[in-house]
Chains A and B, each alone.
Chain A
Amino acid sequence: MFERRLYYHIDWALLIALLALCALGVTMIYSTTADPTRAMSRLYVTQLYGIVLGLVAMVFMLTLDYRTFTDKSHLIYIGLLALLIYVLFLGNVQMGARRWIGFRGFNLQPSEFAKVGVALVLAKFFGENRGAPTSTDLAIGVVLTMIPFALIAKEPDLGTAVTLLPVFLAVAYLAGMKMRILGVLFLALLLAAPIAWKFALKDYQKSRVTTFLDPSQDAKGAGYQQIQARITVGSGGLTGKGFKQGTQGQLRFLPVAHNDFIFSVLAEEQGFAGVLLALGLYLFVILRTLDAARLAKDRLGSYLVLGVLASFTFQVVYNITMSAGLAPVKGLTLPLMSYGGSSMIATLAGFGLVLNVRMRRFTN
């Protein structure tokens, strides 16, 4: 259980960086939504609740040895699949997708927790093997990843589903997957792209890609968000327009500013200075977490830490790129900063595991 001396090994620097990012997020959410004439004016309070619940989850993830979680990972995994199936049939529909399980006044989004679940189960699976994973191992890893992937993609929420792929790739990579295989995988993806384009992608997804390549071709429609994102970021300048002074976010030229485009709002109101601060914090969190992976006392710990970090990093990089209008608009939130309780709880819980691994690096 929680031994007193472990307390001294908690990575306080990482924790502070995480909380700083949360605070930055709440501030930006407040800035864009606190207009009392609008229905959303109390979103920042909800976000604060999310952070508190996330910290509770984090503490819970700290109290038990991470090996306890990995040992139970198959159960956790099966439980998650059950939730995802439940959502698929009985979940709440919002904006045309079934993603949520409704509690009283709180909607839970199981797909956010799938990332942690998949990280746990893959860490456990690859951690038990010694040496480079065989192709059978990789195939099993792929299957373990693709089942929740398929369930989430079916909701449909392709954006969140895609964040599971880095988890597998990262863990397999660290477990010693041959770089050659990685190369083949990458090639296969390139070849699969045109086929996916023809058969798998829906029209709105296609239009997102084509307008990314040339936003002006549809300046009022799909290209609108991208153009507006660039304007938002660019108009922020070096020091920004000031707290609550952003015109793009405040006047709703940028859609869902508090959610997908929270980083654009930061860039607009706090300028390049704010961007550097946030980028620095995220980079610090990521490098510090990589450190934790290096320090872990066993492979299992390393894999688990990297599994958690992979989806986080992927989402951070993609969202920030999209915030600047430099990537196609995809409904991917920015972990720790975007509005969203499930994401906040799942992310903080994941970092609970990261802290856990680092904290217990000396224990047996």
Chain B
Amino acid sequence: MATHEDRRRISIRLSILQYVITVVFSVLAVSFWVLQVVEHAKFEEMAENNHQRTLALRAPRGIVFDRHLQPLVENRRSYSISIVREHTKDLNNTVQLLASVLGIDEAGVRQIVERHRREPSYRPIVVVQDASLAQVAAVTARRLDFELPDVLVEQVPTRRYPDTLAAHLFGYVGEVSDRDVSANDALRSGDIVGQSGIEKIYNAQLMGEDGARRVVVNSVGREIRTLEEEAPTEGKRLQLTIDYDVQRAIEDGFDQLGFNGAAVVLDPSNGDVLGFTSRPTYDPNAFAAGGIDRVTWASLTTDEDRPLNDRAIQGRYSPGSTFKMAVATAALEEGVITPDFKVHCVGSASFYGRPFKCWKKGGHGTMDLRHAIEQSCNVYFYTIGNMTGIDKIHKWSTLLGLGEKSGIDLPNEVQGLVPSPEWKQQYRKEKWYAGETVSVSIGQGSVSVTPVSMAVYAATLANGGTRVTPHLLKAVDDGSGWKPVPPPPARSRSPLDPAKLQAIRDGLFMVVNGAGTGHNAILKGYDVSGKTGTAQVISNQGKEKAGKTDKDLRDNGWFVFFAPRDKPEIAGVVFLEHGVHGSNAALIAHHLMDTFFAKKEGRPLPPKPEFKANLVP
């Protein structure tokens, strides 16, 4: 039986408990209010970060076609495998497991991770670019077992250069540099951009827009479902002026000869680049999957032949005898001589008290302009060059495209040099000596030209004075059909007197079809006209002094050409580094013109050439 006192105590103590409990629950309610209502936004964002991932969908770069819409550069799918440290519980363990699953060196993986240590942890660290299917399968299986929740396998479109040709023309792609990201708002870190060639110049068109996929993932990173997907927009497709078969012919020619060098072939009427190469070449595919590996890069950059150097637009070489048409043009157009002007060659001539030799010891006898070009008589050109003067030679060679940038749509073109007294005064602080003009008249001295400017030179002679701008882009397709890109305006127009020009063309015709050095380029029915040039790399005295050396001291060989003589459709240059003689370059020119005309007329294309028989050793 409860006493009254007991009852009282129990009642009081229960009341205290009532109040305490009520207070405790009120505190709980307020706490939840703070978490759920006051701080809701913060936690909602955290929850979203927990379970939503935005995955970038890489946009494929635009496909590049030749002038007949044959694909030259395409895309393929590759897989990259990365670690997303944000979801890593034990990085050490992940690295160990991943390396063993992939069958790669653990230290290497560690190195890669270490290199990106400072980056935000949500950014994937790519461990393997272009993973094999076996590697992808191995990782995917482990992910399903929750063993590697922090490893990401992504499909990325990767550039593919199906035929290894025109590597310098296409260029290569690679990850954008931090500097470019800060300079260009459209670029984001990790983007793949063109680093050289067409890929670089037309990067904005080719790049496309990345898409994104927002997915829900669970606590071990497995994708549960897709919330929304924004498809990537493929980059614009480019149609180039390049003709695949002409390009192939050039590449085959160089492969056959084995020389380094360059070739540029144009449509002389508008500057369309039909073929373009620089040798030695490299494989742009090596750069495609997110970056080139160090070993390959090191071998490319330390190679003494400098394969990354685009000789066609960056190499400067002495033009040798191919320069003689510029001197002839200047002399004719300035009225210094007529085509019938004659010079007697006895094998050498004296100017300003110094002897200048002709290449033919006994001399050519009496020659007019046509024959002087055919025979490449040095004495003839010493004489008319000296009569014309350096200023006029400079003027006309510039109008023909030499010593100037061609304006081709490729990055980092360099300028050649046709010297003038002003140039010498400005850069060498020296007076011009009249004797120098004599050397310049046969393309020696300080004259240096790029192969691409030589192609413009050939085209200008072919079309009668219009210095076309070589260009590679013919049309662009942004998804709504091809839109032609008008050729850039000519750099200059200086119509040459047809009668005078004809004399030069006759000479060039005779070089190939007469008694000249260009026989290798004969193409029956197409009146190929051209001029060889063989330029010393080192003077004769120097050669003797050097004696036996490992350095390649063989002469450089040029061949500039156009065809047919009276209504040219193709013009260009083939340059062989240490190619011994210009007639070797004519072999390649022959093959590419043969291919060009065969294709144009629907004949079967010529087979791969065999040059050995006609090669000057």
B22 with A247: CB separation less than 8 A = no
Contacts A220-B89, A276-B29, A279-B28 known; A232 to B47 CB distance under 8 Å?
A: yes
Q: Does B37 reach chain A (CB closer than 8 Å)? A: yes
Known: A233-B35, A251-B224. A287 touches B21 (CB 8 A): yes
- Of B214-222, B313-321, B454-462, the segment with at least 4 beta carbons within 8 Å of chain A is B214-222
**Cβ proximity bits B2-20 to A, threshold 8 Å, 1 near / 0 not:** 1101100111011001100
Is A286 an interface residue when CB atoms closer than 8 A count as contact? yes
Inter-chain contact A287/B22, CB cutoff 8 Å: yes
**B35–A320 touching, CB < 8 Å:** no
A283 at the interface (CB under 8 A from B): yes
A153 interfacial by beta-carbon distance below 8 Å: no
Q: Which of these, B21, B36, B48, contacts A271 with CB under 8 Å?
A: B36
Give me 12 A-to-B residue pairs in the complex whose CB atoms sit less than 8 angstroms apart, sorted by A's number.
Answer: A174-B13, A231-B43, A231-B46, A233-B32, A233-B36, A236-B36, A287-B18, A290-B14, A293-B10, A294-B14, A302-B14, A326-B31
Residues of B within 8 A of A238 (CB): 36-37, 40
**Are B39 and A234 within 8 A (Cβ)?**
yes
- Confirm or deny: A324 has a beta carbon within 8 angstroms of a beta carbon on chain B: yes
Interface residues on A, range: 35 or more
B25 CB within 8 Å of chain A: yes
B44 within 8 A of A: yes
Contact A235 B44 (CB under 8 A): yes
Instruction: Collect the chain B residues with CB atoms within 8 Å of residue A237's CB.
Output: 36-37, 40, 44
How far, in whole Å, are A237 and B38 apart by their CA atoms in the complex?
9
Q: Is A336 an interface residue (CB 8 A)?
A: no
**A290 to B13 Cα, complex, angstroms:** 10
Chain A residue nearest in CB terms to B43: A234
Residues of chain B with a CB closer than 8 A to A293's CB: 10, 14
CA–CA, A236 to B51, complex, Å?
14
Q: Are B14 and A234 in contact (CB under 8 A)?
A: no
A residues 242-274 with Cβ under 8 Å of B? 247-248, 251-253, 267, 271-272
**Chain B residue, CB-CB nearest to A317:** B24
Using known A-B contacts A290-B14, A293-B14, A294-B11, determine if residue A275 contacts B22 with beta carbons closer than 8 Å. Answer: no
Please, which residues of chain B bring their CB within 8 A of the CB of A271?
A: 36
Cβ-defined contact, A298 with B1, below 8 A: yes
For residue B180, give the distance in angstroms from its CB to the closest CB of chain A.
35
Main secondary structure of the interface of B (DSSP, over half): helix
Q: Quick check: is B351 within 8 A (CB to CB) of the other chain?
A: no
Whether A230 contacts B35 by the Cβ 8 Å rule is yes
Q: Are A324 and B35 in contact (CB under 8 A)?
A: yes
Are A272 and B32 within 8 A (Cβ)?
A: yes
Q: Of B3, B18, B33, B39, which is within 8 A of A290 by CB?
A: B18
Q: What is the bound-complex CA distance between A287 and B39, given in angstroms?
A: 30
Closest Cβ of chain B: how far from A290's Cβ, in Å?
5
Chain A residues near B28 (CB, 8 Å)?
A: 279, 317, 320-321
Q: Which residues of B contact A235 (CB under 8 A)?
A: 40, 43-44, 46-48
- Hey, which chain B residues are within 8 Å of A252, CB to CB? 218-220
Residues of A within 8 A of B18 (CB): 287, 290
Of A235, A272, A276, A282, most buried by chain B (CB within 10 Å of CB) is: A235
Neighbouring B residues of A279 by C-beta, 8 Å = 25, 28-29, 32
Contact in complex: B21, A290 (CB < 8 Å): yes
Determine if A5 is an interface residue (Cβ-Cβ < 8 Å): no
Of the candidates B11, B28, B39, B51, the one having the most CB atoms from chain A within 10 angstroms of its own CB is B28
The proximity string for A residues 202-241 relative to B, scoring 1 for CB distances below 8 Å and 0 otherwise, is 0000000000000000001000000010111111111000
Residues 140-184 of A, flagged 1 when their CB comes within 8 A of B and 0 if not, give: 000000000000000000000000000000000110100000000
B34-83 interface with A by 8 A CB criterion: 35-37, 39-40, 42-44, 46-48, 50-51
Within 8 A of B (CB), among A38-88: none
Q: How far is the CB of A40 from chain B (nearest CB, A)?
A: 14
Contact A230 B43 (CB under 8 A): yes
**Which B residues are CB-close (under 8 A) to A282?**
25
A198 interfacial by beta-carbon distance below 8 Å: no
Contact B6 A130 (CB under 8 A): yes
Cα of A294 to Cα of B9 in the assembled complex, Å: 11
Instruction: Verify B25–A247 contact, CB threshold 8 A.
Output: no
Name the one of B11, B42, B219 contacting A253, with C-beta atoms under 8 angstroms. B219
Q: Does A267 lie within 8 Å of B36, measured CB to CB?
A: yes
Interface residues of A in 270-319 (CB under 8 A from B): 271-272, 275-276, 279, 282-283, 286-287, 290, 293-294, 297-299, 302, 306, 313, 317
Q: For residue A176, which residue of chain B has the nearest CB?
A: B9
Q: Which residues does chain B contribute within 8 Å of A324, judged by CB atoms?
A: 31-32, 35
How many residues of chain B are within 8 Å of chain A by beta carbon?
A: 41
B50 touches A248 (CB 8 A): yes
Contact residues, B460-501 vs A (CB, 8 A): none
- Report how far A268 CA is from B29 CA in the complex, Å: 15
Complex partner residue of A247 from B13, B14, B50, CB under 8 angstroms: B50
Picked from B10, B24, B39, B218, the residue with its CB within 8 Å of the CB of A251 is B218
Contact of B47 among A247, A298, A313 (CB under 8 A): A247
With most chain A CB atoms within 10 A of its CB, the pick from B5, B6, B18, B224 is B6
CB distance from B420 to the nearest CB of A (A): 73
Instruction: Report A269 CB to chain B, min CB distance, Å.
Output: 12
The answer, among A174, A275, A313, for a CB contact under 8 Å with B14, is A174
A272-B36 in contact given A220-B89, A235-B44, A298-B1 (Cβ < 8 Å) = yes
Q: Which of B24, B32, B39, B43 interacts with A275 by CB under 8 Å?
A: B32
Q: How far is the CA of A286 from the CA of B23 in the complex (A)?
A: 13
B273 to chain A, nearest CB (A): 57
Closest to A247 in B: B51
Q: Is the CB–CB distance between B37 and A272 below 8 Å?
A: yes
- If A130-B6, A234-B43 are given as contacts, then 20 extra A-B residue pairs at C-beta distance below 8 Å, sorted by A number, are A230-B43, A234-B35, A235-B43, A235-B46, A235-B47, A235-B48, A237-B40, A237-B44, A238-B37, A247-B51, A251-B216, A253-B47, A276-B32, A279-B32, A283-B21, A283-B22, A293-B14, A294-B14, A298-B2, A324-B31
**Taking the nearest CB of chain A, how far is it from the CB of B37, in angstroms?**
6
A298 contacts across to B, CB distance below 8 A: 1-2
Alpha-carbon separation in the docked complex, A238 to B1 (Å): 51
B192 to chain A, nearest CB (A): 33
Compute how far the CA of A282 lies from the CA of B22 in the bound complex, rounded to whole angstroms. Answer: 11
Please indicate the chain A residues that have their CB under 8 angstroms from the CB of B13 in the complex.
173-174
Q: Given the complex of chains A and B, what is the CA–CA distance between A177 and B31 in angstroms?
A: 33
Report if A290-B17 is in contact (Cβ < 8 Å); known contacts: A234-B43, A282-B25: yes
Known contacts A236-B36, A283-B22; is-contact A251 B51 (Cβ 8 Å) = yes
Chain B contacts for A234, CB-based, 8 A: 35-36, 39-40, 42-44, 46-47
Do B10 and A294 touch (CB < 8 A)? yes
**List of 3 A-B pairs having minimum Cβ-Cβ separation, nearest first:** A234-B43, A235-B47, A251-B218
For A299, the chain B residues whose CB sits under 8 A away are: 2, 6, 10
A320–B31 CA distance with the chains assembled, in angstroms = 11
Closest residue on chain A to residue B16 by CB atoms? A173
- Asked if B47 and A231 make an inter-chain contact with CB atoms under 8 angstroms apart, the answer reads yes
Minimum Cβ distance to chain A for residue B84 (Å): 14
Compute how far the CA of A317 lies from the CA of B10 in the bound complex, rounded to whole angstroms.
23
Smallest Cβ distance from A7 to chain B, in angstroms?
Answer: 26
> Does the CB pair A313–B36 fall under 8 Å?
no
Instruction: Report A65 CB to chain B, min CB distance, Å.
Output: 16
Taking the closest CB of chain B, its distance from the CB of A272, in whole angstroms, is 4
* Residue ID in chain B nearest A310 by CB atoms: B17
Q: Is the CB of B1 within 8 A of A231?
A: no
Given A283-B21, A290-B17, A299-B10: A267 in contact with B44 (beta carbons within 8 A): no
B514 → chain A closest CB, angstroms: 85
Kindly report which residue of chain A lies nearest to residue B38, judged by CB atoms.
A234
How far apart are the CA atoms of A302 and B9 in the complex, in Å?
A: 12
